[in-house]
Amino acid sequence: NAGVTQTPKFRILKIGQSMTLQCTQDMNHNYMYWYRQDPGMGLKLIYYSVGAGITDKGEVPNGYNVSRSTTEDFPLRLELAAPSQTSVYFCASREGTQYFGPGTRLTVL
Amino acid sequence: KNEVEQSPQNLTAQEGEFITINCSYSVGISALHWLQQHPGGGIVSLFMLSSGKKKHGRLIATINIQEKHSSLHITASHPRDSAVYICAVRYRDGDTGNQFYFGTGTSLTVIP
């Protein structure tokens, strides 16, 4: 099993650009999560999904959107990127224990 | 509701020392997780607890539900244990029972 995979690993965006962070898991987990991690801060939940077709907001959803058309994929969309979205983004899936992807380091300039 | 506090924030130990990291939370939970974040950034789950105690190798995790407190112990610490250790809780509440709330982490450095 590959576990949870994320692409890209690194990305630099200009203010106002858009992009999609990809997340795929091959463990058939129903629960999937998107987090952001800022320096000195704990992980914050952006969006989560309890199964295909079902998504819900977490603590910090503004400026992001998600979709869950299949069990495997949970992409995170950034519209109109802002410097405040500079962060490291982690995707995770869960069936009991959480499994994390390797992260995407995003810089918005 | 989403207060998860860890102590200490930073910890430096000599190789071989016994280490304790603490986590406290504010309301009833359905599960508590201990995570390890490597210097390269990857995050792995060490333990999931809802009661009692779990052991894996040199790592031991305990939870006291009444006191809303958990501890992660590392026996015979080694430089490869150097990492950030993160506590995460999933609350029992129906609205937030699918969400995790995280402490800010304890940065551990073990010196040879």
Q: What is the pLDDT of residues A21-61, one digit of tens each?
A: 999 999 999 999 999 999 888 899 999 999 999 999 998 99
Q: Which residues contact B85 (CB under 8 A, 6 or more apart)?
A: B6, B21, B34, B35, B36, B37, B46, B72, B105, B106, B108
Chain B residues 52-111 with a CB less than 8 Å from chain A: 86, 88, 98-105
Q: Which chain A residue has the Cα nearest residue B105?
A: A42
- Taking the CA of residue B45 and the nearest CA in chain A, the distance in Å comes to 6
- Output the six-digit token pair for A101: 């992807």
Chain A residues 17-46 with a CB less than 8 Å from chain B: 31, 33, 40-45
pLDDT at B1: 52
Interface test with A, best of B32, B43, B96 (most A CBs within 10 A): B43
Q: What percent of chain A has pLDDT over 70?
A: 100
The band of B2, judged by pLDDT with boundaries at 50, 70 and 90, is: low
The answer to whether A37 and A88 are in contact (CB under 8 A) is: yes
SS3 A83: helix
The model's pLDDT over B66-99, given as tens digits with 9 standing for 90+, comes to: 999 999 999 999 999 999 999 999 887 665 667 8
pLDDT at B100: 87
- Output the six-digit token pair for A42: 């704990």
Q: Which residues contact B45 (CB under 8 A, 6 or more apart)?
A: A97, A98, A99, A100, B33, B34, B35
CB atoms within 10 A of CB A25: 25
Residue B110 pLDDT > 90, yes or no? Answer: yes
Contact: B100, A33; criterion CB under 8 Å: yes
pLDDT at A94: 92
The band of B21, judged by pLDDT with boundaries at 50, 70 and 90, is: very high
Contacts of residue B44 in chain A, CB cutoff 8 Å? 100
The answer to whether B90 and B28 are in contact (CB under 8 A) is: no
Rg value, chain B, Cα: 14
pLDDT at A39: 83
- Rounded CA gap, B26 and A62, in Å? 26
- Taking the CA of residue B16 and the nearest CA in chain A, the distance in Å comes to 28
